[in-house]
Structure 1
Amino acid sequence: MSFASEFKEFATKGNVVDLAVGVIIGGAFGKIVESLVGDVIMPLVGRVVGGLDFSNYFIPLAGQTATTLAEAKKGGAVFAYGSFITVSVNFVILAFIIFVMVKQINRIKRNAPPPPPPAPAPTPEDVLLLREIRDALARK
């Protein structure tokens, strides 16, 4: 089997396509959660703790005197712990949402009726013929 045909077989398998769709949807969903955290939750948290903007919490490591993270990064190395806090909150929310989704899917699967048993395979013709011969011989 050639390399190209092996790759074609691999790429067209259902699992690979399902994985690709999952990654694309996950990326889009991640952006939604990122916006939720950055535009809704963190401003509320900042308001509760006194109007602080976590995205501008940093420690300059190269002696910068900048007041914003973007300016400080232009001047050298920065320990941006505020960004880390924001990303950590983003992760916790995303993990919680995925947990709730998986829990609901498992509940639906648990409550779903079991699939019907597969129909028995039809008896092959040669077996039927041999049974007829056996029965005919048994009658004699």
Structure 2
Amino acid sequence: MLTEFKEFINRGNVLDLAVGVIIGGAFGTIVKSLTDDLIMPLVGRVFGNMDFSNLYVVLSGEVAPGTSLAAAREGGANVLAYGNFISTFINFLILAFVIFQIVKAANRLMPKKEAPAAPAGPTEVELLAEIRDALKK
């Protein structure tokens, strides 16, 4: 079992996957920072200095007007944090767009695999010869 595990780990695909997961996690952190620290403040500014991270609807419990999302949750209120969802969704769109661009660039750089040539079938002359031979029998 140890030998099989060692063979599994030493396959190139597993190591590539591990590297991809690590880089993806780091890249996700960068995109989250880009969204939270640069994009959302600009979007909030366009919408009148709105802080999207504190946009929520109280589903149950009592919350004073102007209370932050964290304070509302600490107070035991059940809230629908749609502002946080908006930030996370924008985060996803940026990440998906960047990954799309990376895959598109990688596809351009990789050599195109030619489809294997179709096996050469019999020529017309050979087919006619087969038909002739079959009719002779």
Is the TM value for this pair above 0.5?
yes
- Indicate the residue corresponding to 1:73 in structure 2: 73
Structure 1 position 90, deviation (Å):
0.3
Percent identity, aligned pairs only, is 59
- Indicate the residue corresponding to 2:47 in structure 1: 49
Q: Deviating runs (4+, > 4 A) in structure 1?
A: none
Mark the runs of 5 or more structure 1 residues left unpaired by the alignment. Answer: 115-140
Distance 1:62 1:6, change over 3 A: same
* Native 8 Å contact 2:63 2:77 kept in 1: no
Structure 1 position 89, deviation (Å):
0.3
Counterparts of 1:32 and 1:53 in 2: how far apart (Å)? 20
Give the aligned CA root-mean-square deviation in angstroms. Answer: 1.7
Show CA shifts across 1:39-65 (max 9, x none): 000000000011101000011222231
The residue type paired with residue 69 of structure 1 is L
Counterparts of 2:12 and 2:108 in 1: how far apart (Å)? 25
Relative contact order (alpha carbons < 8 A, sep ≥ 6): 1 or 2 greater? 2
Show CA shifts across 1:9-43 (max 9, x none): 21221111110000000000000000000000000
The residue type paired with residue 60 of structure 2 is A
- 1:1-140 matches, cutoff 5 A: 3-66=1-64, 67-74=67-74, 75-109=76-110
The residue type paired with residue 82 of structure 1 is G
Q: TM-score, normalised by structure 2?
A: 0.74
- Indicate the residue corresponding to 2:121 in structure 1: none
Counterparts of 2:62 and 2:19 in 1: how far apart (Å)? 44
Mark the runs of 5 or more structure 2 residues left unpaired by the alignment. Answer: 114-137
